[in-house]
Structure 1
Amino acid sequence: MMEQPSYSRTTVDELQSLIGRSDLAERQPRVERKLMHYSSLQTILLVGEGNFSFSSALATAFESAENIVASSIDSEEKVLRVYDRARSLIENLESRKALVLYEVDATRLHEIEDLSGRKFDRIVFNLPHAGYFPGGERSKKAIKKNKQLVSMFLESAAKFLSSFGEIHISNKVGPSYRKWNLEGEAEKYGLYLKESVRFRKTDYPGYMNKRGSGARINRTFRLGECKTYMFSKV
C-alpha cells in the first residue's frame, strides 16, 4: 500500500488559508466605478477615437480597462504620428488591459474579426464626422455624408448590442446637425431614443476632442452645445 504523504501542521494551515482566500475572492462582488453614464461593470466599445483620450479617461476612472475595447479608423502608425500624447494615452489603456484596435471602420464593425461574437452594453461614437466639405457643415453634401455615416454606424453597431445595451452618439446641437435625423435613422434598425443629455468634455478629465481629418487633424475645435443621444432596442 502506498504511503500517504505527511504534511506538517503549518503546511496544512497554509493550504487551508489559501483555499479560504481563493473562495472569498470568488465570492467578492466586483467594485463598480463610474464616470458619467459609464461603469466598470459594462462592456464598452468605443469607435472613432482620435488620440484615445476619451477611452483613456474612462480607463483611468475605472482603474481598470478590461471591459473596454477602444478603436480608431486610422492605422497605429498614423495615430502615433499625428496626435499629441497618443502614445501615453494608448499605453495607459493597454496597461489597464484594454483592447486597442486600429483601422476599424465604424460603419463596418461586423467585418472586424476581433469583434466577432461579442456583445456590448455601451457602444460609443463621439462627434462623428464624415470629413470637411466646401461650404462647411451647412452644405447639402456635408449633411448627406454625415447622415449616411451615422446611419451605417447604427446599422452595424446594432448587431453588437447586449439585450439591454445602448448606442451613444454625442453630437453638436444646431440646425445643420438636426438634419442628420439621428432618431429617424436609428428607427430603421429597431433602435429607439431613450434619452438625450448634455455632453461636456470637462466631465471626462483629460479628454481632448480632435478634428480627425484635414491639415488641422490634431487641433481641437469649439464644441458649443452638444448632447449625447442614447439609443436602445427596448
Structure 2
Amino acid sequence: MARRRRRGSGVKWLKHYSSAQSILVVGDGDFSFSLALATAFGSGANIVATSLDSYGALIGKYSQAEANVMDLNIMGTKVLHNINAKNMTGHHDLRIRKFDRIIFNFPHAGFKGREEEMRVIKLHRKLVKGFFVNARHLLKPYGEIHISHKMGYPYDAWDIEQLASESSLATIEIVSFHKHHYPGYNQKKGDGPRCNQPFPLGACCTFKFCLRCY
C-alpha cells in the first residue's frame, strides 16, 4: 500500500511529497506521476507538471495522456508542454517560479544505441547535467531536487552524484524507489515504436539533492 501521511493540519502526503510543497515534475511522460500526486493531495494546485512533447505529440504517443491531462486541469494543476529539461529556466511560466521539490523520474536521452555504449551514456549524462544546471535556479533555498534512477550497470555509469556536485548540489540521501508507492503511475519508454509501453524498473533509487552551502 502507498504511504499517505498527514503531518500538520490539512496537509496531505504521498511518500516524500506533500500538498504544502510547491512541486515541479519534469519530463512526466503521460503525466501519470503528477496525477498520482494530485489524486493523493485531493488537488493539483501546488503542482506544475511538464512534458518534453507538444500536446499533439503527447496524445499521439500515450493512450492515457489526454485523460490524465484533463484530470490534472480539473484538479488545478499547471500543465506545460514543450519543456526541455536542459533549458527550462527560459520558459516564461517557469523563470519567475521557485519550488520546494523538483522531480525528474528516470531521465533518458532517447534510444540512440545500446545503453552500455559510452556514447549513449554520455548523452544521458549531458541530459542530467543540463537538468541540474537549470533546476538549481528554480529551487527555493531549502528545496530539494529528486531524480529516480535505475541501479546497476550501465546506469551507475551515469554517476548522478558527481553530476550534481558539479552543479553545486549536495547529496541529502538515496532511498529505494517503489512504483506501488504512487498508485496510477505508469513509467513509459517515451520514444520509438513502443513509446507507450512500460520499461522494466528493477532496482531503483531516488537521489535527493539540495543547494550546497558554502
Which band: TM-score by shorter chain? over 0.9
Which residue matches 1:9? none
Where in structure 2 are there 5+ consecutive unaligned residues? 1-7
Query: When you count helix as a share of all residues, which structure comes out higher?
Result: 1
> 2:198 & 2:162 partners in 1: Cα distance?
29
Q: Residue 180 of structure 1: which of 128, 148, 158 is its match?
A: 158
Which residue matches 1:164? 142
Contact 2:61 2:190 in 1 (8 A): no
Higher relative contact order (CA 8 A, sep 6+): 2
Instruction: Mark the runs of 5 or more structure 1 residues left unpaired by the alignment.
Output: 1-28
Is 2:48 the partner of 1:88? no
| 1:57-68 to 2 correspondences below 5 Å | 57-68=36-47
CA distance in 1, matches of 2:27, 2:64: 17
Number of aligned residue pairs? 205
List, as ranges, runs of 4+ consecutive aligned residues in structure 1 with deviation greater than 2 Å: none
1:121-153 per-position Cα deviation (integer Å, ceiling 9, x unaligned) = 00000000001123x110111111001110110
Secondary structure of 1:171's counterpart equals strand
**CA distance in structure 2 between the aligned counterparts of 1:224 and 1:71, rounded to whole angstroms:** 25
Aligned residue in 2 for 1:219: 197
Match of 2:112 among 102, 126, 133: 133
Offset of residue 189 of structure 1: 1.7
Q: Kindly provide the amino acid, as one letter, of the partner of residue 82 in structure 1.
A: K
Shift of 1:101: 0.2
CA distance in 2, matches of 1:38, 1:84: 27
Deviations 1:152-208 (A, max 9, x none): 100110001001100000000012111111111111121011011111111100000
> Who is 2:5 aligned against?
none
Between structure 1 and structure 2, the one with the greater Rg is 1
| Residues 71-119 of structure 1, C-alpha deviations (whole Å, 9 max, x = no match) | 0000001111210111111111111100000000011111111012110
Distance 1:87 1:133 in 2: 27
* 1:102-141 equivalences in 2 (<5 Å): 102-134=81-113, 136-141=114-119
Q: Which amino acid aligns with 1:99?
A: K
Q: Kindly indicate whether residue 79 of structure 2 is the aligned counterpart of residue 100 of structure 1.
A: yes
Asked if the contact 1:133–1:139 (Cα under 8 Å) also holds between the matched residues in 2, the reply is no
SS of aligned partner of 1:159? helix
TM-score, length-scaled by structure 1: 0.85
- Provide the aligned C-alpha RMSD in A: 1.1
Cα distance in structure 2, aligned partners of 1:158 and 1:200: 25
